[in-house]
């Protein structure tokens, strides 16, 4: 359904003159603190069922973009590997200026994965870390502002730079 909707939107933009597109793939959904905590306490790994869905989406997105590139004259795209970039930060947080790559800054329970941040959810208890800038995850499902800033800079100026991609020649 997601790929189908994306196809329709891109084709409509293309039909109206859009030729250059920027995309990013999905991160490993099963590694979000809110899903990781669903594994038994003896396992610190990701929830494989959700991770499989993200991998399938990324594969289909890649196939879609390759197909559109072949079928639509002048269609070009840049695909940022959000999945790889996030995994690197989660698995090696200190390389990117973080102390914590798997546990959320705000929440409760294992990995602070219970979506309770702010006390306005059914579970009212929550903890907040002292320095959100040192965490990859803000809460059970969202990244911190610092991560988004790093990734935006990577997308704009990195190896497959959107800045260069969108410059008019």
What does DSSP assign to residue 137? B
Looking at residues 63-85, what average pLDDT do you find?
Answer: 96
3 state SS for 77-123? EEEECHHHHHHHHHHCHHHHCCCECCCCCEEECHHHCECCCCCCCCC
Q: Which of 134, 21, 24 is nearest to 84 (CA)?
A: 24
Per-residue pLDDT, 168? 61
Q: What is the mean pLDDT of the chain?
A: 92
Q: Which two tokens stand for residue 60?
A: 């289909």
Looking at residues 39-59, what average pLDDT do you find?
Answer: 89
- Lowest average pLDDT, out of 10-19, 64-73, 120-129, goes to 120-129
Per-residue pLDDT, 132? 96
Looking at residues 132-143, what average pLDDT do you find?
Answer: 97
| Confidence category of residue 91, pLDDT binned at 50, 70, 90 | very high
Looking at residues 42-61, what average pLDDT do you find?
Answer: 92
Q: Is the pLDDT of residue 128 over 60?
A: yes
Per-residue pLDDT, 3? 93
Q: Tell me the domains of the chain and their CATH numbers.
A: 2-157 (3.40.50.1110)
Looking at residues 94-117, what average pLDDT do you find?
Answer: 94
What is the Cα–Cα distance from 54 to 30, expressed in whole angstroms?
8
2-15 and 48-71 are packed helices; what angle lies between their axes, rounded to 10 degrees? 30
Burial 28-47 (b: 16+ CB within 10 A, else e): bbbbbbbbbbebeeeeeebb
Summarize pLDDT for 5-48 with one digit per residue, the tens.
999 999 999 999 999 999 999 999 999 999 999 987 777 789 99
């Amino acid at each position: 359904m997601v790929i189908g909707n994306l196809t329709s939107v891109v084709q409509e933009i293309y039909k109206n003159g859009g030729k250059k597109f920027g995309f990013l793939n999905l991160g490993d959904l099963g590694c979000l603190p809110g899903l990781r905590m669903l594994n038994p306490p003896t396992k610190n790994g990701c929830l494989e069922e959700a991770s499989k869905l993200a991998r399938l989406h990324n594969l289909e997105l890649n196939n879609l973009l390759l197909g559109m590139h072949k079928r639509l004259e002048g269609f070009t795209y840049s695909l940022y590997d959000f999945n790889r970039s996030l995994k690197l930060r989660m698995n090696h947080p200190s390389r990117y200026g973080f102390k914590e790559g798997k546990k959320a800054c705000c929440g409760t329970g294992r990995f602070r994965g219970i979506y309770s941040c702010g006390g306005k959810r059914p579970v009212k208890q929550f903890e907040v870390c002292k320095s959100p800038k040192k965490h990859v995850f803000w809460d059970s499902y969202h990244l911190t502002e610092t991560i988004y800033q790093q990734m935006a800079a990577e997308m704009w100026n990195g190896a497959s730079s959107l800045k260069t991609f969108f410059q008019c020649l």
